[in-house]
Structure 1
Amino acid sequence: MKTVGIAGNPNKPEARERFPELARLLADHNVRVVVEQSVAGLVGRRVAALPLPKIGKAADIVIVLGGDGTLLHVVRDLGNTRALILGVNLGGLGFLTSVRSDGMAASVREILKGQYTVSDRQTLQATLCRAGRTTTTHVALNDFVIGRGALSRVVRLQLTIDGEALTEYVCDGMIVATPTGSTAYSLSAGGPILMPATPAMIVTPICPHALSNRSVIVPGDAMVQCRVTRGAGGLALTGDGQVHTPLRVGDTVAVRRGDRVVRLVMPRGQSYFGVLREKLKWSGANV
């Protein structure tokens, strides 16, 4: 690897320690370093400071220091890049930022030696159609959510899969998630966990009024359409908890697999099931 990008959240408690540590480590390995502009002041040495879209074009790998929210932000702003992405957890749970901060140096050394595995993650593309016209299109790695946030009023959402009607939900909202996002909001709402390579999407209603309404797993190449039929006050479409678009009655949100693939990298020997066991505190039977 000839060029390494550094990005992340400069406001995390460990940031002032970890960013300079990473910059020194990369300098010792004689690789070119490019840094996100917002964290350039923390690296402790003169390096090229670039906006994230330019880092996405220049870097072979981008190392992201922060939590999962930081990584989702960086992935969105990097654009359609083939660069590998390594997440170092300076936050809380951290499914996407799976490398612990105290293991950062060892993991980066292994990766620079070529000792790593790549996990290609599918994305979602959501298109908002209003009065017969396409108004906005967004891409997400984890999920798209139709919901109200702080307001607690039910909404009616009519769902179709590949043009066939499924049902009309009376609920607080709807989540359409990738396998990567299956351990995020969808999991909290009662959805299943899918392995990252599963060619599928998860449709999970939020607090549905009918107890029989449960998550539905649909093929990865399906088209999921969700139409707002009643109760749109304060309703919005949110992508990865960051992109926010207000919705109205009559709006239709169409979600399909995105064209972009996000290439997450793990040190060799680290596995998805190992991450699940650590993050979800799975320790086996107690009997």
Structure 2
Amino acid sequence: MDHFRNIGLIGRLGSDRVVDTLQRLKRFLIDSGYTVILEDTVAGLLPGDDLQVCSRKMMGEICDLVIVVGGDGSLLGAARALCRYNVPVLGVNRGGLGFLTDISPDELEARVGEVLAGHYMSENRFLLDAFVRRDNEQLGTSEALNEVVLHPGKSARMIEFELYVDGQFVYSQKSDGLIVATPTGSTAYALSAGGPIMHPKLDAIVLVPMSPHTLSSRPIVVDAGSELKIVISNQSGIYPQISCDGQVHVACAPGDSITIRKKPQKLRLIHPLDHNFYAICRSKLGWSSRLTDQ
């Protein structure tokens, strides 16, 4: 069991509700005897106490636990920065759905207190690495916890591309793009595009076409150890983009290739002991409860 002493705080900017929750969390942790370290971008919002301030990268090196206050988007950004340091991450929901940030502010002190006392569950979530190449030269790279998306950018035209899995040709496609999602991302953009919900423990990747120009094109689930390669047609008249978690964007051109593979490092995600994936799906997606509860 982890022993938490130095605890980092990250919060979404531009929200008074996030600042209020960070203030409560900071005071609770200090009063409980923990060392609190603030991310430099939020330090100005939490004056007083003369706390240590550092970058997100440094936070990964010196913290025993990082608590993210915000929505799933806030945790996605933190995950990409912190996964390489193997520091556990806990999410407090101050956003929308909250698939990843599953502690409610109403239960803040009680739930965080349980985690700090050692009453928690830990799981590893894998990320994806994406590499964009042109004429064998690497143009850009990024990583994603949810999904890597090939999309037209500002253009309204379809993209023509070829898909390869482990060097084997799969298909040529003309569509609005392709979503390559982890199990974590299967309840996000991929779900809205018609992809399947995948349990977070699955070691698999789903490829979901976006409005394909054929009725026979369906989502494909492949082993997470597969290397995926997308080649944009030279005949394609548009310059599409690769987006990672909707937060990092890399411009592409006709003839470019995008290689996607599982990232070696994983995110350590912390949950309260009663965390239940199916209960979250029922709550967030409006699934029916038991007949006896209706």
Q: TM-score band (shorter)?
A: over 0.9
TM-score with structure 1 length normalisation? Answer: 0.96
Flag the 1:245–1:24 CA change in 2: closer, same or farther, 3 A: same
Name the SS of the counterpart of 1:186 in structure 2. Answer: helix
Which runs of structure 2 are paired with 1:262-281 in the superposition (5 Å)? 262-281=267-286
Q: Distance in 2 between matches of 1:103 and 1:42?
A: 22
State the shift of 1:239 in Å: 0.8
Flag the 1:14–1:232 CA change in 2: closer, same or farther, 3 A: farther
Asked if residue 75 in structure 1 is aligned to residue 79 in structure 2, the reply is: yes
Match of 2:164 among 145, 160, 167: 160
Of the structure 1 ranges 128-137 and 243-252, higher mean CA displacement relative to structure 2 is found in 128-137
Does structure 1 conserve the Cα–Cα contact (< 8 Å) formed by 2:146 and 2:186?
yes
Does structure 2 conserve the Cα–Cα contact (< 8 Å) formed by 1:146 and 1:238?
yes
Flag the 1:222–1:232 CA change in 2: closer, same or farther, 3 A: farther
State the shift of 1:49 in Å: 0.8
State the shift of 1:11 in Å: 1.3
Q: What percent identity do the matched residue pairs reach?
A: 36
- State the partner residue of 1:19: 22
State the shift of 1:222 in Å: 0.5
After TM superposition, which residue ranges in structure 1, 4 or more long, deviate above 3 angstroms?
284-287
- State the partner residue of 1:208: 212
Does structure 2 conserve the Cα–Cα contact (< 8 Å) formed by 1:159 and 1:224?
yes
Q: Deviations over 1:226-283 (max 9, x none)?
A: 1101435241011111111111111110111111100111011111112111111212
- State the partner residue of 2:44: 41
Match of 1:141 among 145, 151, 156: 145
Q: Distance in 2 between matches of 1:67 and 1:151?
A: 29
Q: Distance in 2 between matches of 1:236 and 1:96?
A: 26
Q: Deviations over 1:132-191 (max 9, x none)?
A: 223322221111001024432111110011111111111001111111111111111000
Unaligned runs of 5+ in 1: none
Which runs of structure 2 are paired with 1:113-152 in the superposition (5 Å)? 113-152=117-156
- State the partner residue of 1:283: 288
Q: Distance in 1 between matches of 2:259 and 2:237?
A: 17
- State the partner residue of 1:88: 92
- State the partner residue of 2:181: 177
TM-score with structure 2 length normalisation? Answer: 0.93
Does structure 1 conserve the Cα–Cα contact (< 8 Å) formed by 2:83 and 2:267?
no
Of the structure 1 ranges 122-131 and 72-81, higher mean CA displacement relative to structure 2 is found in 72-81
Q: Deviations over 1:188-230 (max 9, x none)?
A: 1000011111011111111111111011000010011111014
Does structure 1 conserve the Cα–Cα contact (< 8 Å) formed by 2:228 and 2:261?
yes
Asked if residue 111 in structure 1 is aligned to residue 118 in structure 2, the reply is: no
Which letter does structure 2 place at the counterpart of 1:11?
Answer: G
Aligned CA RMSD, in angstroms, stands at 1.6
Q: Distance in 2 between matches of 1:147 and 1:3?
A: 41
Flag the 1:149–1:129 CA change in 2: closer, same or farther, 3 A: closer
Which letter does structure 1 place at the counterpart of 2:164?
Answer: T
- State the partner residue of 1:242: 247
Q: Distance in 2 between matches of 1:187 and 1:149?
A: 20
State the shift of 1:128 in Å: 1.3
State the shift of 1:28 in Å: 1.8
Does structure 1 conserve the Cα–Cα contact (< 8 Å) formed by 2:178 and 2:208?
yes
